[in-house]
Amino acid sequence: MIWVVAFGLAWGSFLNVVIYRIPLGMSLLQPPSTCPSCDTRIKPYENIPILSYLFLRGRCRHCGEPIGLTYLLVEILTPALLAVLHLRLGLGLPFFAAALFTSGLIVLGFIDGHHKILPDLITYPGIVLSLVYSFFRDDLTFVGALLGAAAGGGFLLSIYGIYWLIRKKEGLGFGDVTMMFMVGAFLGWPRTILTLMLASIVGAVIGLIYVRTHGKDLKFAMPFGSFLAPAAYVALVWGDRIITAYVARFQN
């Protein structure tokens, strides 16, 4: 567990680079870590996960500009989520596959929250890797992965198409569709449906609260991927238990 958390801290720092640079079309390797405000090279001792942010009080040491809270959240969230996966899965191929999937969810969730986009650079490789992984797992076959992808991406694709035919404009980003193809291929169809249900319920509640508190109408755009990502993680870790408990209520 100590090694998993230590890796998660370092990995979370890298995910912050991915979250910041991919929407800007920047290389993940060059230039080295620099302050986005003053372009000053960040020293290694200024780049220690969590501790550096707290020590610097969330500001650049050189120019004093605030460092986004996202950096701290990702560095806390990544080791925490990986630790939960380790408790559930041990340390083997299922853990590493789930950790990579979770990393994709973190990146997609935060990018969508900031930029309202879900980059193909994450979702398309995620679809392929999820389908390939199905050949090496005991809990989901390749056909099951395809069914999951069809249940997730196919459902949102149908909504996307119907809304376009009726309103002649997008009512749902296509990135949400490709993200759910990835999620479905990894989770299988039952947990994919659970993901859609959880994300829709939480998204609707938060959306209504936002409308009421900010004076918006119901047409404002919400980053649905930011709700799909945590819902998919819940379905990954606790989905089978939730589905079993839900079905048991009706059987009783």
Does 132 have pLDDT greater than 90? yes
pLDDT in tens, 183-207: 999 999 999 999 999 999 998 888 7
Please say if the pLDDT value at position 40 is more than 90. no
- Nearest Cα to Cα of residue 157 among 144, 174, 169: 174
Neighbour count for residue 118 (Cβ, 10 Å) = 28
Return the minimum-mean-pLDDT range out of 40-49, 108-117, 142-151. 40-49
* Of 245 and 218, the one with more pLDDT: 245
Answering whether pTM is above 0.95, one says no
For residue range 69-95, what is the model confidence (pLDDT) as tens digits?
899 999 999 999 999 999 999 999 999
Q: Which helix (H) or strand (E) holds 147?
A: helix 142-167
Q: What integer pLDDT is reported at residue 3 of this predicted model?
A: 94
Spatial distance between the Cα atoms of 156 and 24, rounded to a whole number of angstroms:
27
Beta bridge mates, 59: 66
Query: What pLDDT, on the 0 to 100 scale, is given for residue 252?
Result: 62
Position 91: which residue type?
Answer: L
**Dihedral (CA of 182, 187, 190, 196) sign:** negative
More confident: 222 or 141: 141
More confident residue, 183 or 246: 183
Q: Grade residue 220 by pLDDT with cuts at 50, 70 and 90.
A: low
Q: What is the pLDDT of residues 138-179, one digit of tens each?
A: 999 999 999 999 999 988 888 878 777 777 666 677 888 999
CA distances from 61 to 55, 68, 80, 237, 239 (A): 10, 14, 27, 39, 43
**Which range is most confident: 202-206, 212-216, 241-245?**
241-245
% the chain with pLDDT above 70: 94
Given this model, what pLDDT does residue 218 score?
57
**Residue 27: exposure state from Cβ atoms within 10 A (0-12, 13-18, ≥19):** exposed
Own/partner pairs, 34-42, CB within 8 angstroms, 24+ separation: 35/60, 35/62, 35/63, 35/65, 37/63, 37/65, 38/62, 38/63, 38/65
